[in-house]
Chains A and B, each alone.
Chain A
């Protein structure tokens, strides 16, 4: 069974720092990996999706990398801002069985960026 782990569980940094959030997964047979943002009491906003054949994806100040063989992904946030404060979730879609999209989630990293 796929297990997704995210470290650190929480991170508190001053504005302007560059950050790295880590995600690892136990079964490397994945179809893709998605990073989400979750604000308190809100839904999940998809930030980036990386296909298993890709090494990285970029969107603005966000860059996500994927090392499928070692079961790892990182989310890099450049020049962090207080508005980046949220919980960041990593989720993988297994390349086994149904391809309709059973996502396996990590517990998330709770990020606080203070001015």
Chain B
């Protein structure tokens, strides 16, 4: 069964450094998402992306964050200057064409640790 793949599985970065998290969504999917889960907290929506542009973003997704689909397969999340509170598990998700009755499929996540 096709799946969403994320790399790396674990990223350790010094505070203030830039980090790029990578995702390969399911190949025929058109809608892409990033969520994050701080340890012990709920999974929180960050951003949705369709047709090469952001369609919605949450209050968490400030100017330090950006997303890009640099080619036909990858979907990336960049954090420009990381803070301690950015430490979390980051999940990428994708959804197929059609109405919102299609489920979102999630990757295994990237655990980001900011030192």
* Residues of A in contact with B (beta carbons under 8 Å apart): 4, 31-32, 34, 36, 41-46, 49, 51, 89, 91, 93, 97-107
Contacts and interface: CB of A to CB of B under 8 A. Distances in A.
B56 A100 contact: yes
B22 interface: no
Contact of A43 (B56, B99, B109): B109
Question: 4 closest Cβ contacts across the A-B interface?
Answer: A43-B108, A44-B106, A105-B43, A46-B103
A interface secondary structure, majority? strand
A100 B97 CA distance: 10
Interface string B75-115: 00000000000000001010100011101111111010000
Contact of A106 (B35, B42, B103): B42
B100 A93 contact: yes
B106 A102 contact: no
Contacts of A45: 106
A49 B43 contact: no
A94 B82 CA distance: 31
A36 to B, nearest CB: 7
Contacts of A91: 43
B100 A32 contact: yes
A62 B100 CA distance: 22
14 contacts: A41-B111, A43-B6, A43-B107, A44-B106, A46-B104, A49-B101, A91-B43, A93-B100, A100-B50, A102-B45, A102-B58, A103-B104, A105-B43, A105-B44
B43 A98 contact: no
A41 B6 CA distance: 13
Contacts of A97: 56
